[in-house]
Amino acid sequence: SQQGEEDPQALSIQEGENATMNCSYKTSINNLQWYRQNSGRGLVHLILIRSNEREKHSGRLRVTLDTSKKSSSLLITASRAADTASYFCATAGATNKLIFGTGTLLAVQP
């Protein structure tokens, strides 16, 4: 399966700062989802944005979607040490299969 690209691959910030991760994909989508994964653990679903939506908020998370550029961004505001994890975008087409991006490793320093 073709994967989406995420950048940066790794991001290190101080507690309280904002973290922005970007995701680009190649095919048309039905929706795009963001997940978090702590080291060696399963995935936690963060947010889903549909192809006809441009922006979505959930708590400290803000996701944007630009289907013309085939890209999405995840913004985490006022980061905490507990936000340290890997973050993946995943796109879903008509078949409900998820194609995951390459991931961003976020480290939030206390």
Partner 1 sequence: GAVVSQHPSRVICKSGTSVKIECRSLDFQATTMFWYRQFPKQSLMLMATSNEGSKATYEQGVEKDKFLINHASLTLSTLTVTSAHPEDSSFYICSASAGNYEQYFGPGTRLTVT
Residue showing tokens 């085939």: 70
What 3-state class would DSSP assign to 5? strand
59 binds partner 1 (CB under 8 A): no
* Site residue total, partner 1 (CB under 8 A): 22
Strand 98-100 and strand 43-50: the pairing is unpaired
2 binds partner 1 (CB under 8 A): no
26 binds partner 1 (CB under 8 A): no
67 binds partner 1 (CB under 8 A): no
Residue 109's nearest CA partner among 82, 70, 88, 87 is 82
Identify which range of 18-26, 29-37, 62-70, 74-82 contacts partner 1 by CB under 8 A: 29-37
88 binds partner 1 (CB under 8 A): yes
Is the alpha carbon torsion for 9, 89, 72, 57 positive or negative? Answer: negative
Site residues (CB under 8 A) for partner 1? 1, 3, 30-31, 35, 40-45, 48, 88, 92, 96-103
